Chains A and B, each alone.
Chain A
Amino acid sequence: GDSVTQMEGPVTLSEEAFLTINCTYTATGYPSLFWYVQYPGEGLQLLLKATKADDKGSNKGFEATYRKETTSFHLEKGSVQVSDSAVYFCALYTGGFKTIFGAGTRLFVKA
């Protein structure tokens, strides 16, 4: 079945460091791919998305490129801030009513 695999956390970085959170997927068909972010005590918010191969989603300095050949959608940011501390979820949608989420990766950014 369809699935999403994310790198395990927590990831701890210093402010202004480069961030990469790896995400790979298994899906039949051609999924849409998403990154959601969950701040402490809140629900998930959509961060960015890509709907077809080679698309790049971007928002708030975060980027992810839909790589069909490697079935990946890695999240990157050039310079993280303390306020980026949160849990990040990779997700896919192939139709069939439900969005499938990865296990989440917790990011801590130290000042």
Chain B
Amino acid sequence: NAGVMQNPRHLVRRRGQEARLRCSPMKGHSHVYWYRQLPEEGLKFMVYLQKENIIDESGMPKERFSAEFPKEGPSILRIQQVVRGDSAAYFCASSPGEGEKLFFGSGTQLSVL
């Protein structure tokens, strides 16, 4: 049973480009969470999704950031027109239900030049 798969592992973008981060949850998990980790800081919640629905996006910046979890395929975190301040590690986690422990992927390190 594969764990949570995130790709790419490292992503380099120039300012103004788009970044797409992918997350495939563990088999049987229908709950996906995205977190951002800035250098020397903790994890900050961004968004919580279930299949085809955004349940809580209170941690998402209002502009340039969007997330989806389609019926088929991985969850996507999309950042448009990236800026240097978007450089961070982005972690995806999944769970089989609410309140369950989270299973994390290895993260995507986004670097904006």
Contacts and interface: CB of A to CB of B under 8 A. Distances in A.
A96 to B, nearest CB: 8
B12 interface: no
A96 B105 CA distance: 22
B104 interface: yes
B98 A41 contact: no
A98 B33 contact: yes
Nearest to B102: A99
B101 A46 contact: yes
Given A34-B101, A44-B43, A44-B91, 12 more contacts: A41-B106, A43-B91, A43-B104, A43-B106, A46-B102, A95-B98, A95-B99, A98-B45, A98-B56, A99-B102, A101-B42, A103-B41
A104 B42 contact: yes
A41 B108 CA distance: 10
B69 interface: no
Interface of A: 32, 34, 36, 41-46, 49, 89, 93, 95-104
B41 A43 contact: no
Contacts of B55: 97
B40 to A, nearest CB: 8
Nearest to A95: B99
Contacts of A100: 45
B42 A103 contact: yes
